[in-house]
Amino acid sequence: MKSFAPVLVVVGVIVALWYAAAVGMNAQWERDQAARAGSEIGWAEIVPKAMHQERPVLPAPHQVVAEFWKLTWGEEVAGRRGIVQSGSLSNRGLVLHAWVTLSATMLGFVIGSGFGILLAVGIVHNRAMDASVMPWAIASQTIPIVAIAPMIIVVLNSVGVAGLVPKAIIAAYLSFFPVVVGMVKGLRSPDGMQLDLLRTYNASAAQGLWKLRLPASMPYLFASLKVGVAASFVGTIVAELPLGGAGLGTRLLAGSYYGQTIQIWATLVVASLLAAGMVGVVGLVQSRVLARMGMAA
């Protein structure tokens, strides 16, 4: 219980600040409404009204929670198009969109980390790759993803690749980089003595990789994977913006087109829960793997 108290205090402070900010930001609209009606209103009236607007500048927390509930549980269980009544996820609810984004993120993450690990192995074992690959990898990350994502999608569409894969490729584009950087560092982490030891056994480079470099790089790998999975998620959402169809990115864009701020915030809540969940899963796998390897983290 002791450790819960500070967490609750911080959450309480954030919620209080949020309410204060919501009232402050939404107050002007209430004043404008009153002025248009030829009257004036005081704070006593503004405060409750500012917390229950239909299209607030900043929705109050309870509005976001209600919308989140409506678009997940409410939509799927009670809604006509929900999974209970129609047998498939509603395209108006957030569960379907979250699933679409999640699946593209996972695919992109797998492609990106796999590619990143391969690149890192190449960089560590090949002098030419060591000198030539890193600058390109860094350059690739300096290009704004919002600029390059639509182009990748257009190019892939023109060669007949559509749907999940283009999004996953953009997700991979963002997630390979932290994995490359972390894995190069990890694969080079064994010291001179450990490498000399393998030389005294006349071990091959492949044996050195499997028996020494890869196991030694595991803590580095997991640190990078946590960054990589979050980057992959951002990449997927950015890739969904120009695509249309389903996905959290599409929902965010639609929400901002139609001024549905509450819906945007509810979508953001889903997005952050997903991201936290994925990082959490990587962390769980990390502690399992490292514990099994006798390297409790």
Partner 1 sequence: MPDTVIEAKGVGLTFQTGDGPVHALKGVDLVIEKGDFVSFIGPSGCGKTTFLRCMAALETPTEGSLTVNGMSAEAARQARAYGYVFQAAGLYPWRTIGGNIRLPLEIMGFSKQEQAERVERVLELVDLKGFGKKYPWQLSGGMQQRASIARALAFDADILLMDEPFGALDEIVRDHLNEQLLALWARTEKTIAFVTHSIPEAVYLSTKIVVMSPRPGRIADVIESPLPRERPLDIRDSPEFIAVAHRVRDGLRAGHSYDD
Looking at the Cβ atoms of 80 and 211, the one nearer to partner 1 is: 211
Q: To 5 degrees, how large is the angle CA 258–CA 89–CA 259? A: 10
Report if residue 140 touches partner 1, rule: CB under 8 A.
Answer: no
Least separation in angstroms between residue 297's CB and partner 1 is 12
Report if residue 241 touches partner 1, rule: CB under 8 A.
Answer: no
Report if residue 297 touches partner 1, rule: CB under 8 A.
Answer: no
Least separation in angstroms between residue 282's CB and partner 1 is 19
Task: Count the neighbouring beta carbons within 10 Å of the beta carbon of residue 74.
Answer: 16
Instruction: Judge contact between 176 and 231, C-beta under 8 A.
Output: no
What is the Cα–Cα distance from 72 to 77, expressed in whole angstroms?
8
Report if residue 287 touches partner 1, rule: CB under 8 A.
Answer: no
Contact characters 170-209, partner 1, x per CB under 8 A? -----------------------xx-xxxxxxxx---x--
What is the Cα–Cα distance from 75 to 89, expressed in whole angstroms?
9
Looking at the Cβ atoms of 154 and 197, the one nearer to partner 1 is: 197
Written in H, E and C, the secondary structure of 72-117 is HHHHHHHCCCCHHHHCCCCCCCHHHHHHHHHHHHHHHHHHHHHHHH
Number of residues that bind partner 1 (CB under 8 A): 19
Looking at the Cβ atoms of 212 and 231, the one nearer to partner 1 is: 212
Report if residue 215 touches partner 1, rule: CB under 8 A.
Answer: yes
Looking at the Cβ atoms of 144 and 294, the one nearer to partner 1 is: 294
Instruction: Judge contact between 124 and 186, C-beta under 8 A.
Output: no
Contact characters 218-237, partner 1, x per CB under 8 A? x-------------------
Looking at the Cβ atoms of 37 and 193, the one nearer to partner 1 is: 193
Report if residue 288 touches partner 1, rule: CB under 8 A.
Answer: no
What is the Cα–Cα distance from 266 to 97, expressed in whole angstroms?
12
Looking at the Cβ atoms of 79 and 182, the one nearer to partner 1 is: 182
Q: How far from chain centre, in Å, is Cα 217?
A: 24
Looking at the Cβ atoms of 112 and 208, the one nearer to partner 1 is: 208
Separation in Å, CA 265 to CA 88, 99, 271: 25, 18, 10
What is the Cα–Cα distance from 6 to 243, expressed in whole angstroms?
42
Least separation in angstroms between residue 202's CB and partner 1 is 5
Looking at the Cβ atoms of 49 and 188, the one nearer to partner 1 is: 188
Least separation in angstroms between residue 259's CB and partner 1 is 55
Where helices occur in the chain by DSSP H, the ranges are 4-36, 43-50, 61-69, 83-86, 94-125, 127-142, 145-158, 164-187, 192-200, 205-208, 214-240, 248-257, 261-292
Report if residue 212 touches partner 1, rule: CB under 8 A.
Answer: yes
- Residues in contact with partner 1 by CB under 8 A are 193-194, 196-203, 207, 211-212, 215-216, 218, 293-295
